[in-house]
Amino acid sequence: MPAPLRIAIGSDHAGLLLRAEIYRTLLARGVEVNDLGPFSSESVDYPDYAAKVCDEVVGGRASLGVLVCGTGLGMSIAANKRHGIRAVLCHTEFEARMGRAHNDANVLCLGERVVGLGVGISILNAFLDSAFEGGRHQRRVDKLAALDAAR
């Protein structure tokens, strides 16, 4: 029997509602969730939570990560600063499917103020229901890894 999917999630104060809905959705799917906060509505700095989630993914304690802020922009910038992370900011289900299928994305970034709760969950599900296709895309992911290693 395969190990259960483990996902680390985090947000800033502008992503609390969508993160809570993501948490509930992941539990309903039978996913092990590590919710890294924050746990109040006080203003926080998104790079701190991006780092926490990315540490879990890079460290192998999570298979994937999900990050939420107001626009998703700050989280995606912060996440992609981390070695070994391929974060995608998605506004559509199509982007989420392609991020996994063609880029082997390991972190999904969402903007609560941009996509809202319903679309955000649809994007999450598309991301989770997709898998890396390999093949010709592996060559490109290898080139991304080489760029990452050259930093």
| Active-site residue list | 69, 102
Cβ count near 86 (within 10 Å): 19
Token duo for residue 41: 């509505």
DSSP state of 63: S
CA angle 75, 21, 109 (to 5 degrees): 20
Q: Give, in order, the Cα–Cα distances in Å from 97 to each of 37, 58, 147.
A: 26, 21, 23
